[in-house]
Amino acid sequence: MMRRLLLAILLVGATLGVPVDTQQPEPKQQEEFVPIDQLPPQDQLPAAPLLVTAYSFVVLALFAYVISVARRLGVVQRELDRLQSDVKRPRT
């Protein structure tokens, strides 16, 4: 129960912490071609954070899944071992 609560708080905190710039001001209509280094800074979007976030997310997601399956497998394996030892034990 506590673990689930902690996980929920962690998730909420993480989503709030990620900067989401959806509230950008409307960009001015460009009349002609402007090379990217002459654009005003708010129209330039650095690619590196997006790239790093993407790759980190992939690694984290795959990792989280492998851990989830391994954990579930461990639970079932323990239960299986316990039951098998119970069966082997002579019944009173």
Partner 1 sequence: MPKWFVPAAVVCGLMFAAAPILIANAPYESTMGLVQKIFYVHLPSALIFLLAAVVCGVASVRFLFGGNPRHDRIAWAAAELVVLFGIITLVTGPLWARKAWGVWWQWDVRLTASLMGWMVAVAYLLLRKYGGPGSDKLAAGLALFGMANVPFIYISVNYWRTIHPTTNVLPTLPVSMGLPVWFTFATFFLLFILLLRMRVRLEEQRARLDALYLSVDA
CA–CA separation, 28 and 40 (whole Å)? 10
Q: Which of residues 33-52 bind partner 1 (CB under 8 A)?
A: 45, 47-48, 50-51
Q: Is position 84 an interface residue for partner 1 (rule: CB under 8 A)?
A: yes
| CA triple 39-43-36, angle to 5 deg | 40
Q: Is position 61 an interface residue for partner 1 (rule: CB under 8 A)?
A: yes
CA–CA separation, 74 and 4 (whole Å)? 19
Measured between alpha carbons, how far is residue 18 from residues 34, 44, 52, 63, 87 in Å?
30, 19, 13, 20, 52
Structure tokens at 77: 């394996």
Residue 8: CB minimum distance to partner 1, A: 18
In the list 80, 88, 89, 92, the residue contacting partner 1 (rule: CB under 8 A) is 80
Q: Is position 7 an interface residue for partner 1 (rule: CB under 8 A)?
A: no
Residues lying near partner 1 in the complex (CB under 8 A) are found at 22, 45, 47-48, 50-51, 53-55, 57-58, 61-62, 65-66, 69-70, 72-73, 76-77, 79-80, 83-84, 86-87
